[in-house]
Amino acid sequence: MTKRWGLIGASTIAREWVIGAIRATGGEVVSVMSSDAARGADYAAKNGIATSTTNLDRLLGNSSIDAVYISTTNELHRDQTIAAARSGKHVLCEKPLALSVADAKAMAEACRAAGVVMATNHHLRNAGTHRAMRDCVKAGRIGKPLAARVFHAVYLPPHLQGWRLDNPAAGGGVILDITVHDTDTLRFVLDDNPVETVALPQTAGMAKSGLADGVMGVLRFASGLTAQFHDAFTIAHAGTGFEVHGSKGSLFGRDCMTQRAVGTVELVSGAGREDLPIDHGNLYERGLANFHAAMDGKGQPSATGIDGIWSLATGIAVVEAAKTGKAVAIEPGL
């Protein structure tokens, strides 16, 4: 049966990726909510959406809507998710889920109590590259994973150079924007949880209001593995990568920390070098297909609310570590 969606937030990410993914996986977008009537109406018209509203209760009161996609700025996610859950709507919420772990937990609890599906839109675990690396690690092909490196320093495109750079109250800054994705991808590929972090922030001229536009740091995982990460809004030509180094082999993912279904993974071990076969597919469509299945009681979404709590707890610990220069424990209390 067609899944009918309401969008909360007339956002760039919905326009560029998620509306298409909903439609490509058997869903329909029924309405969009924007805080600005004229912009909402224009967004609806340009994206082929029948109606728009400025009223959250009106969107949530529409009984034909099964699920909502929340892609407003981050300070709004909590109340919108809780209201949607209480209206019986399934919730796909953008990362970071909220600005505090307590708020994210309240969101997950509201969804659990209402019996609706909750997912966090961590798209990178849907990438063929990361799935291939996870399979390889699970199969024991690199032995015991000991270390990882995430290269996720990119250039924030001009059309996104807004609240991320100057609005701490909206959850701006590179850490809550990008480091949360690194964390989720590491948890997915390694099947392990972070326990501690150290980090140093950078402000290289793009971010304002005390926000970082670059960060380097290290996460220690429960298994003892250490993972280093470099995230930035300011670096145009570094390329992205994700590596896992184990006792018997190393995985080199290249061009894989991206929204596009691209990238390669090379396995290097005593047996030589091998390019892993990658099942490339649209990352957001995989996420939406899993979400639609979960709505039908079949399996879990790609990244659950609990996964979103983990990435947020880690992001907040990295912010604290970057601010204080001290090691900070990651304890979401789950």
Residue 96, SS3 per DSSP: coil
Query: DSSP label at 173?
Result: S
One-letter amino acid of 313: A
Q: Nearest distance from residue 76's CB to ligand NDP, in Å?
A: 8
| Cβ-based nearer residue to ligand NDP, 3 or 125 | 125
Interatomic CA distance for residues 214 and 235, integer angstroms: 9
Given 3-state DSSP classes, what are the helix, strand and coil percentages for the chain, each rounded to the nearest 5?
40, 25, 35
Binding segment (CB under 6 A) for ligand NDP, from list 6-14, 218-226, 243-251, 290-298:
6-14
Q: Nearest distance from residue 183's CB to ligand NDP, in Å?
A: 13
Tell me if the bond preceding 96 is cis, omega within 30° of 0. Answer: yes
Buried b (16+ CB within 10 A) or exposed e, 268-298: eeeeeeeebebeeebbbbbbbbbbbebbeee
| Cβ-based nearer residue to ligand NDP, 36 or 57 | 36
Q: Residue 20: exposed, middle, or buried by beta-carbon count in 10 A (0-12, 13-18, 19+)? A: middle
Q: Is there a contact between 52 and 46 (Cβ–Cβ < 8 Å)?
A: no
Considering only residues 133 to 162 of the shown chain, the ones binding ligand NDP according to CB under 6 A are: 160, 162
Q: Nearest distance from residue 188's CB to ligand NDP, in Å?
A: 14
| Cβ-based nearer residue to ligand NDP, 77 or 230 | 77
Q: Is there a contact between 149 and 241 (Cβ–Cβ < 8 Å)?
A: yes
Q: Nearest distance from residue 12's CB to ligand NDP, in Å?
A: 3
Q: Nearest distance from residue 93's CB to ligand NDP, in Å?
A: 8
Interatomic CA distance for residues 120 and 96, integer angstroms: 8
Q: Nearest distance from residue 54's CB to ligand NDP, in Å?
A: 8
| Cβ-based nearer residue to ligand NDP, 94 or 196 | 94
- Torsion, CA 185, CA 249, CA 194, CA 290, rounded to 10: 30
| Cβ-based nearer residue to ligand NDP, 34 or 87 | 34
45 near ligand NDP, rule: CB under 6 A: no
Interacting residue with ligand NDP among 3, 5, 6, 9 (CB under 6 A): 9
Using H for helix, E for strand and C for coil, what is the string for 120-160? ECCHHHHCHHHHHHHHHHHCCCCCCEEEEEEEEECECCHHH
Q: Nearest distance from residue 268's CB to ligand NDP, in Å?
A: 30
Considering only residues 49 to 108 of the shown chain, the ones binding ligand NDP according to CB under 6 A are: 71-74, 94-95
Site string for ligand NDP, 270-309 (x = CB under 6 A): ----------------------------------------
Site string for ligand NDP, 171-200 (x = CB under 6 A): ------x-----------------------
Residue 306, SS3 per DSSP: helix
Q: Nearest distance from residue 26's CB to ligand NDP, in Å?
A: 21
Strands (E), the chain: 3-8, 27-33, 51-53, 67-70, 90-93, 118-120, 145-153, 194-202, 214-221, 226-232, 241-246, 249-254, 264-269, 272-275, 328-329
Site string for ligand NDP, 19-38 (x = CB under 6 A): ---------------xxx--
Site size with ligand NDP, rule: CB under 6 A: 21
Interatomic CA distance for residues 9 and 315, integer angstroms: 23
| Cβ-based nearer residue to ligand NDP, 77 or 134 | 77
Interacting residue with ligand NDP among 121, 202, 290, 302 (CB under 6 A): 121
Residues making contact with ligand NDP (CB under 6 A): 9-13, 34-36, 39, 71-74, 94-95, 121, 123, 160, 162, 177, 259
